[in-house]
Each structure stands twice: as C-alpha cells, then as structure tokens.
Structure 1
C-alpha cells in the first residue's frame, strides 16, 4: 500500500507544447475522473474539494514539471479527496475525457520551474460522464455527460453566488493550483479523479461530443459571455473579432450563430482576443457610436487607452483659460481670492524666460 500523502513519480513523458497560435492536440490526455459533492447550506465551510488527500484510493494523474514551452508530464499516483458527511454530502464520481493544454498552462509550468516550487495536476477544461452519484447530489445521475470549468468552489454567502457570478466572490477556489480553506491544494483534469461542488459542474447535452465540448467550458464561455452580456447576440448586428486563435475562432462561430452580419462598415461591437500588446485606438475607430469593445485576453502589460485623443481632440473639449506671464502671478493670486477668474490661469513659462 502506498503511504498516505505521498506521490509515486513514474518516468516522465515529454511533449512539445503548442505555441500561442497552435491548434495542436498532441498532448490531450484521456480517461480522467471527477468527484462531485454538495454543500448542505450556503456559507458552510467546505473542507473538501479538488484536492487529492488522505485516502487509500489511488488514481493516476499527470503533473507539469520542467522548463518553458515544453510539457513535462510525469504520471503520479494521487489520492482523491473523500467526503466528510459532517460537512458535505456523499460524493458522486465522474469519469472524465480529453482536456487539452493551453498557453496559460505552459506559463504555469514555467513559473513554477523558475520559482522552484512544486507543480500540480493542471487543467480546467474537463468533460466526462458520471459514474457514481452521492445520495444528496440532486442535479446529476449516473450516465450524465458533464464538465468542470475554472472554478470548483466559492464562499456562497454573497449576492454574486445567487446571481451566478461566483467568479466575483471574494473567496473562490480555482480548479487547480489554488487552496481550499483547509489548506489543501486543488488539482485539475490531468488526473483520473478530482472533486467539485455540483453547483460548479455543467451538464453537457447528449448531442455534443465530449472531446469537442471540453474547450467550450473555458474558451467558449470566455467569448460567449461578453457577446450575450453586451447585447451583441442579436441578429443583423455587425460584430468584429480581433485575433483568430482559440478564443477568436469561437467568437466568430458564436457571432454567426447569433445571426451577426459580416464586418463591413462600422461595428456594433468588437471582441478582442489578442494576448499581445497592441494599440486600441485603431479598433475603437471601427465602432459605431455607443459601440462596445471587450478585451477577453491578458496581455503581458496593460494596454494604453488614449482618452484625450478619443474625447478631447475629437469633440474639441477644452477648458476656458487665461494665459498669463510669470510676473503676473501675484496679481493672479489676488484675483483667485476674489473669485475673479473663469476658469483657469495658465502661466506661460516658456515665453517669460525668453524675455
């Protein structure tokens, strides 16, 4: 028997990582499993989650190690979390299928290598089939096709939870690389076992294939959500998409499904999926009045939005001023005390020095 809280590291298997713009699936991993639980009530302390801890039931998984731009996948033997009936209901286990790598996973591996910190079982686009259902899990039954996204838990005590905005909760738990309130680490879909509150498990229609559905749980919702939220889901709107990678190609497909027109002429909205630093002003110039541009990726440094050229120059917005020389400053101060200025003094330092 393997001692508890220990990982057995088997020989590693290295894959070439896809680039930012690649659609390669060479390192997709199949046959993962998940565990679902349900809290008894809102605000209940969740002592269980997506961590592999303290059980004798072992399951294989893959953990990212190594340097940048390479997948170093080493099989581990890990222990899936067991439910504590005092805190949460019995669990339901779900057998999961393909979930492929994305650029942020490469970044995660690289950062851990640079910081000399242990890596974890990754992946947050997970799809599979329920194989076991706990007695208090209400939403799923054995055989249901389900998926898990980037969250597996939240505080559940704020309005955000009721409004299905759990990602804005002050205390949320990411699918991998995060910590539960008991301090244990969350592990993701590169394993045959993981744990998630049933509130964070998504039902997949029978008509959708599991392998094609897994990316929809992150890439799909990332572009679908702003299209719906900002009203760009109406027929005959003109919607532009910047970038045609994993995010961009799905934005195009959803916009087409909503009935959007081609991108000729001024646009009602733009979904910008580019992760590289790029100027926004040319894109904003393509929008209609009250058009919307939504940034859904994360560039390495903040994008600059030139507000003055957008508003002040375009609409000739400027203050009322009175230009004065430096030797008039004392008089100007007296006038300020008398509120005798409309509305700003501007001191011409340059010409004063020339004199």
Structure 2
C-alpha cells in the first residue's frame, strides 16, 4: 500500500516528502489513518543520528493519534471509525515471559519500535507516524478517551507514559511530596500527573519566566534551583523526584533533597555522564533510577555495586497495558499536553526550535497538511 510520508534520507538532508509501501492488512492488524503525530526529542536525535544507530531513510514519529479505517478478520476490539493511538511499540513476540507479564518493552525476542527498528513483516525497518497511515498489530493499538482533545493527546503516547510510569512504579500518592526538575515537554506533563495523583508538587527551574506557568500547570511551589537558600529549605523532604533535564546538571543537589528511602528517577538524557557522589545515596538510603522513552537502546547505565543497599537501575517506557492505564487516567482527570500545532512542512524549523527549547511545550503535526505536500 503506497503511503505518503516525510523522511530523512541521510544525516545531512532535511526531512522531505517520501513515498513507501505499508504492508497489507493481516487478520490481526488494524489499519489507521493518522490524524496527529507528536514531535519527540528522540525523533530529532534519531533523524540527526545523534545516537549513531539510525537506518536511512528514516520516517520518525511514535506519538500517533488516528482513525481506524479497516481491521483484520481476527480483530474484535476495534472497528472502523474508532479513534485510537499508537505509541513507541508496534510489535513483540507476545509469548516470552516478559511479554506475558505485559512488559513488551523488554521482549526477550526483540521489541519492535514504531520506527527505525527491524520490520519482521516487510523486512527493512519500521516507518513511523510522520505518514498518512499505519498498519499495526491489534495488541499494540490503544483506545483514546472520548473527552480528550486529540491533537493535545498525541504527546501522551510517549511523554505521558515516560512520566506516568515512574510515578506509578514508585507509588506516588496523596499526601506525598514530589519534585519535578525542569519544566519542558516531559516536565509539564509530569506536573499535571503528579498533581492528579494527589501529591504536593514542587517544580525546580532555573528560569524565572517559568514560575507562573508552573503554578498554572498545578505546581504547589516553585524553587529556583540556583538559589542555595531555597534549595536548603527542602533538604531530606521529598518522597520522589522526577528529573526531566537533558542538559548537564548537578544531580547530587537533588538527591540530597530526598527523605530516607526516597527515589529520584532520571528521564532526561544528558549528552555526557552525570557526576554522581554515592554518599548522596548512602546517607539516607536513597535510590536513583532511570526510566527512558522507547528507542534509546544504546544509552549506557551506571553498573555498580556498593554497600548499604545502594541501588542504581534503569527501565524503559511502560508496556501497552500500562500505557492504556495512563490514557484512561488522563481521560478521568482531563490531562493533555500543552501543544503548538504545526503543518508537516514546518517540521525542520520545529526541530531547530526544539534544540533551543523554543516551544511550550510540545510540537504536534496536523497530518492533514501532508496532503498539501
């Protein structure tokens, strides 16, 4: 099936119109007309081969909202006309121990990511959501709550589950004190989710112009992380901190804000290793972990053993079941991303702006614009 898209042909050429063949509908498949696709930081990193793992041509996009146009003979959960989503995963073996535990992102036989991953159906690689349609196994299609704005829901398929998964894993709940470091594409959703879970939410930022926005998004308090006096007031007090910063920063300053047995989860990926003082963890039995979006398969985690139950660990996005749980939670609490809607013709400009953090807070492509391309 011929499909129009935007693709990068190599590391130096900007994204441009591209035509490729989608697979024909199988009995377990759902065919989807793509309405909106979010622009993720990992799209930019992959297109520009900043992780040195890109296969070209590359069609990015794993924050997909669309309408079902056809279903296979064995598909009963979805029907033509349904509004659905596709996130970071489009396939796995579904039979290994991890898949059976709803942890498809850890498939022992190889998770298939939405783009730049081996395509077991067509050969070659998978092509993502910067395209007019997609064909996906029914097990990897998600139901979208009817009350949510569709364009603003798209980033939940990656940024939403990236922040929701660690909040749920670490049992953030009413009455707890939660910090969110950085107020960008991930951080602004993290604030909304933590607040909806009942936490007292503190945003850490170095930008004075983000204070008003943080409060609007639901933060109870905003701290200038450059102000030592403001930071000192919060020593040993947080149950959980979500660090969304992808630039180099002093991670130890935030670890010291955790109370005994508190956890800091890093979801931003700085370009260089963060300097970690293990004393920040040992005193207070604190822990640090990672939770990453799909596609960052080459990121190196710290491997270490020490005493006093020091724990450093890493994880990927949530599985399909948890992603559906996140969408249902967002539907219940009317949570979506703050977005700027763009035509696909502006995608290269959007990438340049993304590098400069010049967006509040996520770009989403109106895929109807692809017809004009």
* 1:298 aligned to which of 269, 280, 287: 269
Which residue in the other structure is 2:69 paired with?
Answer: 131
Residue 222 of structure 1 corresponds to 162
* CA distance in 2 between partners of 1:242 and 1:167 (Å): 26
Contact conserved, 2:55 with 2:125, CA < 8 A, in 1?
no
> Which residue of the other structure, out of 98, 101, 118, is the alignment partner of 2:36?
98
Change (3 A) 1:112 1:287: closer
Cα RMSD of the aligned pairs, angstroms, is 2.8
Structure 1 residue ranges (4+ consecutive) displaced by more than 4 angstroms after TM superposition: 65-68, 112-117
* TM-score, length basis structure 2: 0.62
Deviation (angstroms), 1:206: 0.9
Q: Would the alpha carbon gap of residues 244 and 285 (structure 1) be closer, same or farther in structure 2, given more than 3 Å must change?
A: same
Q: Which protein has the larger Cα radius of gyration, Structure 1 or Structure 2?
A: 1
Q: Which structure 1 segments of 5+ residues have no match?
A: 1-56, 319-355
Task: Name the structure 1 match of 2:131.
Answer: 191
User: Structure 1 residues 120, 131: closer, same or farther in 2, change over 3 A?
Assistant: same
Change over 3 Å in CA distance of 1:251–1:115 after alignment to 2: closer
Q: Which residue number corresponds to residue 17 of structure 2?
A: 75
Q: In the superposition, relative to structure 1, how do residues 243 and 179 fare at CA in structure 2: closer, same or farther (>3 Å)?
A: same
Higher relative contact order (CA 8 A, sep 6+): 2
Structure 1 residue 166 corresponds to structure 2 residue 104? yes
1:116, distance to aligned residue in structure 2 (A): 9.8
Q: Within the alignment, does 1:238 sit opposite 2:177 as a pair?
A: yes
TM-score, structure 1 as length reference: 0.65
- Change beyond 3 A, Cα 1:65–1:114: farther
- Confirm whether residue 63 of structure 1 aligns to residue 7 of structure 2: yes
Q: CA deviation at 1:281?
A: 1.2
Distance 2:97 2:130 in 1: 32
In structure 2, how many angstroms separate the alpha carbons of the residues matched to 1:117 and 1:159?
A: 29
Matched positions, count: 253
2-side partners of 1:113 and 1:219: how far apart? 19
Match of 1:283 among 248, 254, 257: 254
- Structure 2, unmatched stretches of 5+, are 203-220, 222-233, 286-305, 308-373
CA drift at 1:226: 0.6
Name the SS of the counterpart of 1:111 in structure 2.
coil
